[in-house]
């Protein structure tokens, strides 16, 4: 058994009955939708048509939302329905990032993930989903795709169908007959704040004030410069797209990079044979533990249901890099805490052994987030295969910056400034090389990826990226490190630049709609 949907665009009239029926049947709050009808106007006056697209969860055979979920709150049932359990969800919003279709949202009433679940409560008693029942033109069909005698299988037999974003590799079970490319490709009809129908305020995208549209009856703004097969296209109505992750995520990337980077560098130096006093080691371990604690606080604080955070440990879903990362950080914190306690007691004999245990855990802690980002298949910019190595070098940059700050205070490690200068210089150069490769030398293969890069290099994040990230955060520190002066300032600027890089990297692709 494999349940799926078919949408007949030849008969859909865009009446929104499916949307309202879904809201009524499932008590969906205002401001979010499990099903909505996207509308796109195509052509030039007077030859203009309006294309409709019933938009919802695709009930994929390989659902990335289920793979990234750390607690199995999102899962695929044996009958093919991709279901969610709001009583289990911790509100990490990973499923929103993983969905290439903008089909998942956070329910404002419960703080947990929700989406179309095929009206599973109706299907289980032999009824059809509410949207199918209410559709006046029978444009929505639902049923078992594996049963050749089912209505949906007979309808689809011999039909030319399309699915949304086949390149995402999710194998959707939502098929469109004569689906509109103008509606299925989000980049074909970009959002025009002055031209949306039915709305006076676009939903807040999470980075700055809401985009205000024209009052009803006021002159419309110029249409966007989208085209499909040489025709003008303009988005008339859409819903759902929001920015799930905010400043806490780039901040967590920086605090994690500082903690893991310091541990990486000091552990490697100890294994190489460097001699460090107990006070020096304690200073590094104390700051590293503080940064790991701050990382945990930021991660838990960003959950919609932070009181449920222990479920990551108590019922982990092992395919998820959110769950794997939690255990990596727990392991790293445990070994570092043990090392800190022994140093505090003056027991230095197992130092090299503990450094040998810490180094691989610190590298894993620095790099695991890259695999988490790659599970977020709804954000094309994050799919860079070299991102794990990039994040390890960023951790080395942050660790060297923190060690330069420590050495500048005179509290610890002043005699090893030369090592941290060399490590910091190498990490800054490597970070610039990795960034240039990702944003310039190897262009993104997808339109969404190219639009995110444009936002970073020439759009809304350009000033943050070039002035703060590149100028203050990389070029200025390289000059100071080369001169061997104001090293604590160089370390501070390196951390400021790293945050600027991470903020642009995290935020830019989230503004690209997937529906």
| Mean pLDDT of all residues in 238-248 | 89
User: By mean pLDDT, which of 103-112, 155-164, 227-236 is the weakest?
Assistant: 227-236
Distances (CA, A) of 359 to 119, 261, 264: 49, 10, 5
pLDDT of residue 440: 79
Q: How far apart are CA 58 and CA 375, in angstroms?
A: 18
Per-residue pLDDT at 384 exceeds 70? yes
Res 198: pLDDT: 60
Alpha-carbon span 65 to 71, nearest angstrom: 12
Please tell me whether residues 61 and 22 are part of one structural domain.
yes
| Among the listed residues 176, 173, 163, 241, the one whose alpha carbon sits nearest the alpha carbon of residue 202 | 241
Is residue 358 domain-shared with residue 218, that is, in the same domain?
no
Residue 239 forms beta bridges with which residues?
Answer: none
Compute the average pLDDT of residues 460-482: 95
Cα–Cα distance, 395 to 428 (Å, whole number): 10
* Residue 220 confidence (pLDDT) above 50: no
User: pLDDT class for 239, splitting at 50, 70, 90?
Assistant: confident
In this prediction, residue 280 has a pLDDT band, given cuts at 50, 70 and 90, of confident
Return the DSSP state at 441. I
DSSP alpha helices (H): ranges in 79-180?
A: 94-98, 120-123, 130-134, 151-156
Query: Same structural domain for residues 359 and 425?
Result: yes
Q: What is the pLDDT of residue 476?
A: 96
For the residues 473-501, what does the mean pLDDT come to? 93
- Note whether residue 242 is domain-resident: no
User: Among residues 237, 256, 272, which one ends one of the domains?
Assistant: 237
164/288 same-domain check: no
Q: What are phi and psi of 296, to 5 degrees?
A: -60, -45
With a cut of 80, say whether residue 262 has pLDDT above it.
yes
pLDDT of residue 84: 96
Residue 226 domain-assigned (yes or no): yes
Domain membership flag for residue 19: yes
Structural domain count, the chain: 2
What was the pLDDT predicted at 446? 86
Give the model's pLDDT for residue 486: 87
Domain membership of residue 299 (yes or no) is yes
pLDDT, mean of residues 84-104: 96
At 231 the pLDDT is 61
Q: What is the mean pLDDT of residues 17-23?
A: 96
pTM of the complete model beyond 0.75 = yes
Q: Report how far residue 21's alpha carbon sits from residue 24's, in angstroms, rounded to the nearest whole number.
A: 5
């Amino acid at each position: 058994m494999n349940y799926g949907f078919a949408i007949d665009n030849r008969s859909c009239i865009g009446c929104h009955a499916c949307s309202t029926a879904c809201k009524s049947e499932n008590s969906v709050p205002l401001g979010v939708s499990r099903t909505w009808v996207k509308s796109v106007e195509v052509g030039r006056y007077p030859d203009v048509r309006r294309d409709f697209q019933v938009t919802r969860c695709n009930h994929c055979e390989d659902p990335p939302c289920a793979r990234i979920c750390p607690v199995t709150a999102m899962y695929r049932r044996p009958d093919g329905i991709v279901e969610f359990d709001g009583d289990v969800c911790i509100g990490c919003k990973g499923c929103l990032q993983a969905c290439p279709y903008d089909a998942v949202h956070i329910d404002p009433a419960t703080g947990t993930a929700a989406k179309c679940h095929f009206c599973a409560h109706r299907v289980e008693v032999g009824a059809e989903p509410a949207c199918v029942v209410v559709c006046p033109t029978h444009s929505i069909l639902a049923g078992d795709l594996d049963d050749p005698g089912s209505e949906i299988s007979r309808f689809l037999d011999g039909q030319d169908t399309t699915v949304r974003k086949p390149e995402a590799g999710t194998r959707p079970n939502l098929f469109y007959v004569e689906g509109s490319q103008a509606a299925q490709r989000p980049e074909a009809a970009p959002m025009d704040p002055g031209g949306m129908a039915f709305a006076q305020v676009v939903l807040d995208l999470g980075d700055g004030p809401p985009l205000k549209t024209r009052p009803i009856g006021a002159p419309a703004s110029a249409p966007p410069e989208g085209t499909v097969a040489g025709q003008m296209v303009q988005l008339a109505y859409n819903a759902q797209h929001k920015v799930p992750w905010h400043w806490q995520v780039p901040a967590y990337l920086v605090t994690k990079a500082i903690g893991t980077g310091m541990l990486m560098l000091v552990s490697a130096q100890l294994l190489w044979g460097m001699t460090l006093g107990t006070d020096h080691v304690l200073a590094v371990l104390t700051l590293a533990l503080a940064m790991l604690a701050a990382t945990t606080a930021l991660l838990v604080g960003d959950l919609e249901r932070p009181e449920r955070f222990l479920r990551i440990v108590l019922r982990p879903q092992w395919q998820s890099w959110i769950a794997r990362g939690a255990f990596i950080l727990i392991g790293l914190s445990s070994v570092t805490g043990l090392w800190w306690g022994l140093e505090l007691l003056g027991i230095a004999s197992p130092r090299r052994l503990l450094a040998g245990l810490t180094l691989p855990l610190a590298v894993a802690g620095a790099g695991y987030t890259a695999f988490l980002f790659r599970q977020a298949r709804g954000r094309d910019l994050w799919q860079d295969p070299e991102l794990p190595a990039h994040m390890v070098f960023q951790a080395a940059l942050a660790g060297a910056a923190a060690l330069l700050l420590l050495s500048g205070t005179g509290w610890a490690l002043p005699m090893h400034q030369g090592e941290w200068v060399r490590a910091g210089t190498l990490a800054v150069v490597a970070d610039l090389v990795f960034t240039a490769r990702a944003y310039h030398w190897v262009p993104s293969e997808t339109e969404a990826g190219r639009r995110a890069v444009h936002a970073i290099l020439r759009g809304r994040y350009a000033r943050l990226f070039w002035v703060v990230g590149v100028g203050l955060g990389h070029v200025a520190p390289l000059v100071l490190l080369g001169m061997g002066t104001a090293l604590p300032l160089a370390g501070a600027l390196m951390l400021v630049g790293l945050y600027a890089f991470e903020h642009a990297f995290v935020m830019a692709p989230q503004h690209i709609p997937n529906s």
